[in-house]
Amino acid sequence: MSFVDRSYSRQASHFQINDRELYERFELDSIDRWRHGRMYDSVLPLIQPEDSWLTVGDGRYGSDAFFLKQRGVNHVLPTDLSETLLEIGKAKGIIVDYRIENAENMSFEDGAFDWAFCKESYHHFPRPMIAVYEMLRVAREGLVLIEPNDGLIESRHLAGHWQGWEVFKRSLINLVKRKLKKQVYYPFGGYENAGNFIFTISRRELEKVALGIDLPWVAFKGLNDHYEIGYEAELATSDNPRFMDLKRKIAAADERVRKGKGPYALLTAVLGKKMLTKQMEDALKGAGYEVIHLPRNPYISSQV
């Protein structure tokens, strides 16, 4: 069995069935719902009622599909490598249907959906860039990724001479935390228990993907988040000290970004396959996206 086969086999069997997690993900007022809702809100400028969406790596009960429908996506199909939790999601009415798909080799025809959506799953794939091309293949309009931002790459673009110290300090803190927990620490990335390397994304990395296959535009939006063990099922209300503590920590991270002292923790990236309309561009910019019109390949561009 090849490394890739072993990795996917471990991923397919690496799941948890946890009634509390169901509460955390779908309870309207939970901190977990609030945190992830901020990420799902980033797709609002792209949503058209008639469009169809495919969610990839949506193995936690089909929660991505569920929350996209909450935001106006009428036609969405969740997919994952394992059916275990998707079947529970279907039985509980969270989703209507699902498909078992390998993100690196999907069975759908070219352009079967308008949009492909992959939230916090890219970093689980053994060969995530293959999955990116597959998701773009099956999408007519484009791909949306929401993933951890590559801090090592992004920090190099920050202004100021203290940036090296900031990166070193964060790395040192992470090293101490992992040593205390007796975890293996890799300064340039690590591995999950399921066996996969933990990938991240960056603006430049995805710009090059888009340029290489002659896409007309990309858009990026940074987002900070904060996770605390035990906060998930707490109420996201102003009278909850834990929720207010979490909001303060996110606000502090936002301030560090504003001052150029660090990159965003998460990055939403949109890779567009069709020419961008002014209406959508205005909506993206209004939502805080940086929209980049890419030069087209003068030798093979179809200019669609």
Task: Work out whether strand 75-80 and strand 99-100 pair parallel, antiparallel, or are unpaired.
Answer: parallel
Q: Is the pLDDT of residue 238 over 60?
A: yes
DSSP for 28-85 reads TTBHHHHHHHHHHGGGGGG--TT-EEEESS-TTTTHHHHHHHHTT--EEEEEES--HH
User: pTM surpassing 0.95?
Assistant: no
Asked which of 7-11, 228-232, 253-257 is least confident by mean pLDDT, the reply is: 7-11
**Nearest-CA neighbor of 43 among 63, 69, 24?**
69
- Residue 234, CA atoms < 13 Å, CB-side half-sphere: 19
Mean pLDDT calculated for residue range 149-173: 60
- Name the CATH code of domain 3-157+196-293 (choices 3.40.50.2000, 3.40.50.720, 3.40.50.150, 3.30.450.40): 3.40.50.150
DSSP for the chain reads --HHHHHHHHHHH-----HHHHHHHH-TTBHHHHHHHHHHGGGGGG--TT-EEEESS-TTTTHHHHHHHHTT--EEEEEES--HHHHHHHHTTS-S--EE-BTTB--SPTT-EEEEEEES-GGG-SSHHHHHHHHHHTEEEEEEEEEEB-HHHHHTTSSSTTHHHHHHHHHHHHHHHHHHTT----TT--B-TTS-B---B-HHHHHHHHHHTT-SEEEEEEE-----TT-TTSB-STT-HHHHHHHHHHHHHHHHHHTTSS--SEEEEEEESSPPPHHHHHHHHHTTPEEEEPPP-TTT----
Mean pLDDT calculated for residue range 264-270: 96
| pLDDT band, very low/low/confident/very high, at 165 (cuts 50, 70, 90) | low
* Percent of all residues in the chain with a pLDDT value above 70, rounded to a whole number: 80
More confident residue, 174 or 23: 23
Summarize pLDDT for 69-111 with one digit per residue, the tens.
999 999 999 999 999 999 999 999 999 999 999 999 999 999 9
Selection from 21-25, 44-48, 168-172 with the highest mean pLDDT: 44-48
* Mean pLDDT, rounded, of the chain: 87
Q: Is the pLDDT of residue 137 over 90?
A: yes
Backbone angles phi, psi at 8, to 5 degrees: -70, -35
* Percent of all residues in the chain with a pLDDT value above 90, rounded to a whole number: 67
The beta-carbon contacts of 127-133 under 8 Å, at least 24 apart in sequence, are 127/4, 128/199, 129/209, 130/104, 131/56, 131/103, 131/104, 132/209, 133/209, 133/213
